[in-house]
Each structure stands twice: as C-alpha cells, then as structure tokens.
Structure 1
Amino acid sequence: MHFTYYMPTKIFFGCGEFEKAPDYIKTLGKKVLIVTGKYAMNKYGFTKRLVDGLAALGIESMVYEGISANPLASEVNACVEKFAGWQPEVVVALGGGSAIDAGKGILLGLSTGEKVEPYLLGQLPITHVDIPLVAIPTTAGTGSETNWAAILTDESTGTKTSFRHKGFFPAIAIVDPQLTMSLSPETTVETGFDVFAHGVETYISKSGLSPLVGSNSLQAIQLVGQYLPQALTDGQNSTARTYMMYASMLMGFNLANSSTCLPHRLQYPIGVKTNSSHGSGLMALFESWLDLTYEISKEKFNHIAEALHGTRCSNKKEFMNVYRQFRQSININPSLTDFSLTKADVSYLASKVTGNLSNDPAGEIPGIIEKIYDGAFYK
C-alpha cells in the first residue's frame, strides 16, 4: 500500500470557535484584511463581531465586501489594487466558498503584485504565496477551508476554472457550525448537495484514491444522507449543522488529496452562462452522470448506496432508486430546463468545459460531456 496525504491547515472546530477567532488570528499578524461577500456577513453581524474582536486586541483590520457568489478575477484584482499599499499581514476570508476562493486569489495578487488571470488560465506558474490565510466558512459546502484550490471566473474569456498552490492552504481554519444556523433552506440544500457530490466524486475519481480518501468519502456521504434532511427541517438543529460542517471539512481534506469528476467540470460553464449557484447546477447534472457512469464503477457505486441508505445494491436500477430516495428526502428534482437552457445550448456549454476529464472513469466515453448535458434536461 502506497499513498501520500497532505493537510497543513490547523483547524479549530466547534460551536463557539468564532468568538475566539481574534486570538487565533493575532498569532499570524497585526494588519488584517477581511474578505467577505457583499451582503450576508454584514447582515448577520459576523463582520462587525470579527472587526470589534480584533480591535479589542489592538489589531488593525480593513474590510473588502466585494465578492460575488460566483467570484470573479476582476473582483480579486480590485481588492489587491485597493489594499496592496496598506500591506496586510494576514488575509481572513469570512463567508462561503466564494469568499474563501477569492481570498486565495487575493493572497496571490498581494504576493506577486500582478493580476490573477494569467495564473488562473495556466499562462504563468505560481511560484510563491507569501501571506497567510485564515478561513472562516459560514456554509457547509465547498470545503475550501481545508484545500489548496481556488475557483474563479475570468470574464474576458467566460472561463470558470480552478488553480492550485500549496500556499493556498489556509494556515488556520475556524470551523464554527453556529455560523450556518442562519442559512436559508435553499442555501442549505445547495451547499449540502455539494458536500454529497464531493463525497461521491472523490470516491469514484481515478485520481488520488487512498484508504483515507475513501473512508472520508463514505463517512461524508453517510452524514449528508442522515443530517442534511434534518438541517432542512430545522435550521436551528445544532447536531445536524455540526455534522454537516464536519462532513464539508472532511471533503476539503479529500479535495486536497484527490479530485472531483465530470459533474463539477460540467457545472462551471452553467454557472458562468446563467449566473446560477454551484450546488444547483450539480443537482441538475448529477442523476444523468450517475446513470451513465454506474456500470463502469459498479462496485464503488454500490458502496456509496450502502453508506447513503444502508442498502446493498446489485444493479443500476436499485442504485438509482436509492439516489432518488435521497433526492426526495431533500425535496429536489432539478433539470437544466430550470436554468432557461435548451439542448441548443449543449454545444456551447461543452466547448467551455475545462480540466482533466480522465479523472472520471467515464471521461473517455466518446461524447460523454454532451450525453450528460442531454440527459440532464429530463426530470
């Protein structure tokens, strides 16, 4: 047995950890740039609580609230241009995966003094990231707080893609499930489904599967199957919120050591074209992908069904029934028609798919991208 597994982030996990964030941050520097989205962190008072806590310790902070739900390279550049002269010693990303991904891009821009697009598009190698990141996730979804990837959109080319560097690993992740109590049911299910997708895809992926990745995947799938319906029924259910946050964090570990599959690659163009959420696109694509991929990885998918529902499947029909029961338990039945897309859009969407498709066991099937998109128009 041979594998590698890397996780350099120091994690503070548990309800109430957010109140201790200033004490954790002060160990890294005394000039703190806080990066958030445009509305929610201010609305719920999270930004003010952090700023006030830092000020009480004599730590100077500045706030950038310009990050969209689908973060743009231009937003990252705007932040860097605004604050480079101030020379922050620490970047704190407070919010969902969008804020954390943008924070990683901002680290790069502050370190190099350059725009991020050439690095995002693979035109320049990332050689150094000099500023530490503190990630404070407020959704249970992306796992960005414990991985080394950032996903941004380059508006000039209409490309949404990821780039990676070991310097993107947060130095500290403060993972407080209480910060997810205010999430709407819509955001809860969309981000929660992303956790499920990470579990399934990293288990199925041909890249980086190890005993640790595999066990993390199956545990996350089991936790989502049990606790996502509970979090949707009662958003104040601290047990459900805690286990969803834990599952999301586990999948950050996996994304640092494995890879997603085709659903993630195919969602990115949908998000750019329709300005829709990552989770909603995954939900629309997933059943089509499962249907087309099951026979190639039958044994693994049967393990997934057992983790999700305690059911031992022996064929695709049984497996798809388990998945549909899960889908019903979280009250989703999406298709690409919900995004005002038609089959006339398939060719364009397929042309914008990027990344390594060979990580997916179905990646070498001729026309697989178009087949998944086509299948996702039916409910």
Structure 2
Amino acid sequence: MLKSLFRSLRRHRWLRLLSAGFIASSIGTGLTFVIVFGELLRLNAPSSALAIAYALATVPGLAGSFLGEKLLVYRSPFFILILGELIGFCGLAIPIVGIAHNSVILLQFAELLAAFSIGMTLPAMELVFKRGLSEDELSTAASVETVIFASNTLFGIGLGSFLYGHFKAINILMLDGASYCVSIFLIVLAYFSFKGCVDYAVPEASKKVKWMTLTIEQRFALLTLPSLALVGVPAMALLPSLASGSSNGRSAAATLPLLFARSLGQLLGPFLLSPDRFGTYSKDGRVIFILLAAFLACYLSLPLVDYLWLSLFLVFVAHLFSNLVLALGWYAILSNFTEEFIASAIARSYRWNVVTASSVSLGAGVIADHYGASYALAILSGGGLLLAAFVMLRLRKLSPAVNEFSSS
C-alpha cells in the first residue's frame, strides 16, 4: 500500500499539494484542541463545560455537511475547500478572545467553526479524489484521508501537549492560524495543478442519495463508518479511564504515550493492506466484523494488564484494526458511487457517523460514572459490535431483493 501511495503522489502534483495542505490544517486543529481544553481546565470549568466543548468540536460538522453538499450544485469543489479553510481560520478569533477574557463560554464555542468547515469540505474533497484519481488509485485516497485524520492527534495534539505550558496559549493559536494560511496557499496551488478533470460544479448532485434505490454494496458502504463509530468511539472516549485501571494510578503520565500509540496505529493501519485487496474486503462483512472484534478485544484487555508497555502495544494494535476499517469504509464509498452522487453519499455517511459518535460518547460517560469504564465499554462497544453484525447479516439476507429493486 505504501508503494501505491508514493506512486500516486509522484504522479499527481495536485494530490501532493492537497494532502500537504490538509495535513497542515489538521495539525493546527490539534494544537487548538489542546489549548482549548487546557485553558478550560486552568479556569476550573465544570465537567459539563468540557462535555459541551467536546460536542461543539464535532456536531457543527452536521450543518457544514449540508451546506457543502448544497454548494457543490453551484460551485466547484476547490472553491468550497478554500472557503472551508477560510472559515476555520476566521474561527480562531473565538478562542483568542476567550483566552484574553478568561471566558469559559467562548472557549466552549472555540472549535465550532473549525468543526463546521470540516463537515463542509468533506464532500468537496471526495469529489476531487473521485475526479482526479483512477479506479485503481482510490485506495490511495482512503490512505491519504486516514493520514490526515491521524495527523490531528499524532502531530497536532502531541505537539500542542509539548508546547502548552512552555509558550503562551495565544502564540500557539497563532501557529494554528499559520497552518491555515499554509493550507489555503497549497490548496490554491493544487487547484492550478489539477489535471484530472475540469473543475466545475455538479448540478446533478441535487439528486440526493435515496436509500431504497441503493444496491446492497452501496448500503453496506454507507454503514461501514457508522459501524466503526458504534464500536470505536466508546473505547476511545474511555481510554484514560481504562488505562488508569491497568497502570496503578499512572493514568496522567500514561495519557500522552497512549495517545501516541493510538495515533501511530491509526497512521499505519491502512498501509498493512495491499491495494488489490481493498475492493474485496470493503464488501465483505465478515472481514469488517473480524477487524472490529479484534479492536474491541484489545481494549477489553486493557484493564487486565499491569504493564504500561503492554497497554501501549494493545492500543497500537487496536487502532491498526480500526483504521483498516476506516480506510475500507472511505474506499467503499468512493468506489461504489458515481461522481454525481459521491458528495451526497459521503455527506450522509458523515452525518450518521457524527450522530452515532456523539450519542455513544455521551452514553459512555454516563454509564462509566455509575458502573465503571470496563462495564461501559462492554455494554456500548460490545452492543455496537452486535448491532453492526446484525445489520451486516440482515443486508446479506436482503441482497438479492435489494439489488433487483435498485436495478429496476
């Protein structure tokens, strides 16, 4: 997979520029995440304020995805990508003012516009990949997206955790602003280098993806990422609590190494799979189930181990499995929907994913407070795995009827 990625990056200058641009802004967003929650803790904000801040760092993407999908009917995808980064850049004014005035309320809303811009740009990014890459290179797009996703934690939050406390919070936010400027510059260069297709709007995109007209493969593609959220989000939300149960009170010292192990697994996961396997595995419910079950097994083992190095290994391996599912999910959407419907498809899957992640993370916190992190993980992630398995099995049974209906 790594060889395929480098080959595509060498072949497409626009892909190199676009990837570098979004990696830069993803790192900057990670920096801001650390600053916002660090400042909230410094101001002794209540747990409810932290929960609201976390929700506002993701949920606004729902509204953004609706706008991004709609704008593609009238504007080119590169216009939307640049507009999204500009909105994220302007959104930095909220945490800057919040820090200057020690305002918990403003800090709660600090990442609202950044989350909105992520949701808005995602359909446009998928459309660019669909237009600019051949069918054989779609697995490369899935890998690029997972690298961008992992960069937020591996480099952004990691660097932010190192810098916070050594430099003024405002100065670190300026680094995020600089990352947005770099990103916008690189996206503009990518636009002028884009040779895959003429950059134009998609009037046909106003035809929404309709569930009853989808083939079984298209339905499965839309449900893969929400299935990952069902199983994975409770585990990630409970990671510090699970680690504290296995490290004899060393949870604070273990937090950064565990985040690093998680991000390293997320980064390397997609590269374990050969590109010619993506097409087969992305349609195979058994493979997805095995990967999700292996992920859950690693997390369920965390409270049972007493050594930090073993906890790090389990978290690393778990996220190798989880991001294989993530890459297969992205690939499935890119490969199963035509250019006219790719924006609507990815926007719908993203919205389901955000709603699922927000719901189960809240549920994980409530159950963990009453019954402990291990029980919360078993109930929510275990229940999510069983629900995902049921849906996959149900789709397999419906396969002949669904495909006959969708082709009529």
TM-score (norm 1): 0.30
Higher helix share: 2
When the two structures are superposed, what TM-score results if normalisation uses the length of structure 2? 0.28
